[in-house]
Structure 1
């Protein structure tokens, strides 16, 4: 699995306003790059406020906290434009520092990284190529006076507090996804009086060790998916012995990588690309339903479906801002990972993906990025009485249910929701209904009945005719 992906590792009312319904406010927030440095540069962060459609609504707004770390936010304004949550609440979006339109650094890195994916490099060759890209970026950032010490969740949280004050909201509700859950928990830790309630999905809490158990989480989710296909009569008939076929296909790719043409240039799918493609398929229930077809494509060397999978790799490469991504992980995850636990986790892995060397090289890549390391507080659970709703997918391979269970032990007014048949991305009508009810009355236990309804995976049994789904 790619070295850089295996670590990957959202009461009171707003101030009265004369703005009309459906109005959109665009703005720029100026903040220090590093609040610990009195001579810090100033960053300009781009935000957008989608005012509540009900112009006279006095309900506290919702601020959406994007994942990644390094994912853009404002670009998704269209998703929220006509969302039911906007009917009577402002929706606040801001590109986090170093992402999207908020002073993002080295935006060309994604394409350079994708060019490395195209090649059939071993782990050593890949890490050298990746390290070269990051070194070039770091040099360019240094020339521009960028302070890498400023790209942390704590600084990120302070940005949103400054935004709240600038917009005149007395309190607001947080909605965080994936890394946005860590950001949200950091906000309620550092600025508890500013938050009315918080909803998180795909929990990545400060105490969550994202490195040690990444491989186990991935493998557990994948094998659960394969077992579900085996237990489904139609899926098992169409794709028998899936686990055996997967292991066989991966073994074959070690000696005979698949060669294809993507956008007019060669692309080689070896064991590393195969692992990453499978990893990306586990994010969403729709792509989960294509995993049997994916394994069949690996086994038979059929590249037609795999071209769609390669497109997802390219999209990911260009979506995330990698300097911000690596800065957060190097600062907040690297100081607290357990090398022995990681080695033991790899030993327990049943899939031969050359993960031992890959993981070690991934650690080296983070170590080389910068030397700033967080204090112990960034590894401690957040203790809070703020009403909190934590939502998890039962098939989540990135942030398993256990992450939420552990975090909730320290949240006095916390509630847990589990969607057994969902992955990491679980936005669905039931989820949003529960979220809306919770925001309306966060001190009441929400009605979770719709989350109990079984929603089995819809397996792709027709092959390439459904490949785009």
Structure 2
């Protein structure tokens, strides 16, 4: 998945470390496998209510080490609204470094809308939402404060690598009592199975997207036979944590095919179309950086330097919103950098970063053959190695162990799976799904034209009849009435914010 650039090593000298998150307590604590549960009621967007249980599952920090300390992992359970024989649904979040417990803890409109979605799951079966160890509201939130990247220098992969290296050192200092080697995707998969057992279920169904799909593949691999059926969108196989550049560029080309037919964009379009505009702009930045003066508040200005690396990252970031992508490409081609510069300042801003993201991704690593594909891909000069270079370069500096190719490589699995995949997904390209489907002989794939990155219920929210069929699959495993492909409504592309050339 695309990763925004990180600050330089010099900026990291100012890295602010949080206080250690673990206090010494001589009193007996909870034991692995135990759960603590509270009850609450959430309100949906239509005013209806949803009773729920919110709890903490206690698990060993590192199951490979006897006597490893117990840590807390949060979860929510929503009981089915009526008796059902369908297996409970376990919802796995993306990221890694995303929580969903705030849906029942918050009271804002966004949370209420998502409560309504959860009520839909509860019409099918019990719903269980489990958090990610190391990033849970019912346990430890392991983060680092990363300062802003300098504005007067273009982004480089070399600086990105040094930042990741400095974060690895800072993690050990910030959390000295944590066994960071335990924050792996394999341990997270075991957390899911421990929760299944603690709640008394024989088998569960999984609903997952993006990193959540990778998590689901890990659950099925480590605990075969315990998954009744699975719905996966935005697929990320275990050996596919970093995207092949040409697969990402293919998404841009598919968006370009429709954008180039838009009458409102044609006055801005060069002879080579959007692909030609991208190639021309890349060539310009290979010759040198651009300096942009960005207006601020009260007449103040900021100077920002944009380079080749910034453009490569921006291509991937803007491709995540098809409605904005053509305007970015055409604006940069015509040397209108203002909007991009304002966004870039935001991307370089200081932020709290979750540690679970590099711990999981760098520990999981990838096979040698997959790495060869990354480094020799013909589209690497277009999108760059921002997706993976800093992670691969610092492999030996993070504590999580390499699980090996036997874990990463796909194997034949009879679990019924419904793949729902958008062909405009630049974060987890559709080729990921096509690569995995043959390993699941009881799978069905629905290709959603124009859909981008997201979960199944998000991608299909404008197609309620098809969503009902996804629900039927979770309830019974039935796939006969599912189409092999559908199309979403045409996208309205935003025009660049300046008059067409020559007018």
What range describes the TM-score normalised by the shorter chain of this pair? 0.7 to 0.9
Q: Partner residue of 1:279?
A: 316
Residue deviations 1:178-221 (CA, integer Å, cap 9, x gap): 11112112212222343221100111122x4444x521222221
- Inter-CA distance 386–185: structure 2 relative to 1 (3 Å threshold): same
Pair 1:49-2:77 in alignment: yes
Q: 1:25-64 counterparts in 2 under 5 A?
A: 25-52=53-80, 54-57=81-84, 59-64=86-91
Structure 1 residue 23, shift from structure 2 partner: 0.6
Pair 1:134-2:168 in alignment: yes
- Rg larger in 1 or in 2? 2
Match of 1:189, SS? helix
Please give the alpha-carbon distance, in whole angstroms, between the structure 2 residues aligned to 1:197 and 1:190: 15
Match of 1:35, SS? coil
Give yes or no for contact 2:87–2:126 (8 Å, CA) kept in 1: yes
Q: Partner residue of 1:309?
A: 343
Match of 2:343, SS? helix
- Inter-CA distance 412–187: structure 2 relative to 1 (3 Å threshold): same
Give yes or no for contact 2:358–2:391 (8 Å, CA) kept in 1: no
Please give the alpha-carbon distance, in whole angstroms, between the structure 2 residues aligned to 1:119 and 1:188: 45
Q: Partner residue of 1:387?
A: 416
Q: 1:113-124 counterparts in 2 under 5 A?
A: 114-115=148-149, 119-124=153-158
Please give the alpha-carbon distance, in whole angstroms, between the structure 2 residues aligned to 1:76 and 1:100: 13
Q: Partner residue of 2:9?
A: none
Please give the alpha-carbon distance, in whole angstroms, between the structure 1 residues aligned to 2:211 and 2:424: 18
Residue deviations 1:315-355 (CA, integer Å, cap 9, x gap): 9965x62x21222222222454554433321xx227556x3
Q: 1:195-210 counterparts in 2 under 5 A?
A: 195-206=227-238, 208-210=239-241
TM superposition score normalised by structure 2: 0.76
Structure 1 residue 314, shift from structure 2 partner: 6.7
- Inter-CA distance 96–117: structure 2 relative to 1 (3 Å threshold): farther
Structure 1 residue 55, shift from structure 2 partner: 4.8
Pair 1:226-2:245 in alignment: no
Task: Between 228-237 and 270-279, report the one with greater CA deviation.
Answer: 228-237
Instruction: Point out the structure with the larger helix share.
Output: 1
CA RMSD of aligned residues (A): 3.5
Match of 1:245, SS? helix
Please give the alpha-carbon distance, in whole angstroms, between the structure 2 residues aligned to 1:140 and 1:316: 18
- Inter-CA distance 243–3: structure 2 relative to 1 (3 Å threshold): same
- Inter-CA distance 186–371: structure 2 relative to 1 (3 Å threshold): closer
Match of 2:421, SS? strand
Q: Partner residue of 1:107?
A: 143
Pair 1:344-2:344 in alignment: no
Q: Partner residue of 1:298?
A: 332
Task: Between 74-83 and 177-186, report the one with greater CA deviation.
Answer: 74-83
Aligned to 2:406, which of 377, 381, 404? Answer: 377
* Gapped regions of structure 2 (runs ≥ 5): 7-38, 42-48, 105-110, 499-503
Give yes or no for contact 1:385–1:411 (8 Å, CA) kept in 2: yes
Instruction: Point out the structure with the larger strand share.
Output: 2
Please give the alpha-carbon distance, in whole angstroms, between the structure 2 residues aligned to 1:302 and 1:455: 30
Give yes or no for contact 1:260–1:268 (8 Å, CA) kept in 2: no
- Inter-CA distance 119–203: structure 2 relative to 1 (3 Å threshold): same
Pair 1:457-2:491 in alignment: yes
- Inter-CA distance 313–391: structure 2 relative to 1 (3 Å threshold): farther
Match of 2:439, SS? coil
- Inter-CA distance 3–401: structure 2 relative to 1 (3 Å threshold): closer
- Inter-CA distance 357–314: structure 2 relative to 1 (3 Å threshold): closer
Give yes or no for contact 2:154–2:310 (8 Å, CA) kept in 1: no
Aligned to 1:72, which of 99, 116, 119? Answer: 99
Task: Between 304-313 and 21-30, report the one with greater CA deviation.
Answer: 304-313
Structure 1 residue 85, shift from structure 2 partner: 2.6
Q: Partner residue of 2:472?
A: 437
Structure 1 residue 27, shift from structure 2 partner: 0.7
Aligned to 1:289, which of 303, 306, 323? Answer: 323
Please give the alpha-carbon distance, in whole angstroms, between the structure 2 residues aligned to 1:201 and 1:315: 31
Please give the alpha-carbon distance, in whole angstroms, between the structure 1 residues aligned to 2:350 and 2:250: 23
Match of 1:192, SS? coil
Give yes or no for contact 2:164–2:391 (8 Å, CA) kept in 1: no
Aligned to 1:98, which of 134, 157, 162? Answer: 134
Structure 1 residue 42, shift from structure 2 partner: 1.2
Please give the alpha-carbon distance, in whole angstroms, between the structure 1 residues aligned to 2:164 and 2:226: 41
Structure 1 residue 357, shift from structure 2 partner: 9.5
Residue deviations 1:410-443 (CA, integer Å, cap 9, x gap): 2131111111211222623236334212112214
Give yes or no for contact 1:229–1:235 (8 Å, CA) kept in 2: yes
Match of 1:174, SS? strand
Give yes or no for contact 1:30–1:43 (8 Å, CA) kept in 2: yes
Structure 1 residue 298, shift from structure 2 partner: 2.6
Task: Between 21-30 and 163-172, report the one with greater CA deviation.
Answer: 163-172
* Gapped regions of structure 1 (runs ≥ 5): 7-17, 465-469
Please give the alpha-carbon distance, in whole angstroms, between the structure 1 residues aligned to 2:85 and 2:344: 46
Give yes or no for contact 1:22–1:51 (8 Å, CA) kept in 2: no
Residue deviations 1:291-331 (CA, integer Å, cap 9, x gap): 1111233345545533663487379965x62x212222222
Please give the alpha-carbon distance, in whole angstroms, between the structure 1 residues aligned to 2:386 and 2:223: 41
Aligned residue pairs total 438
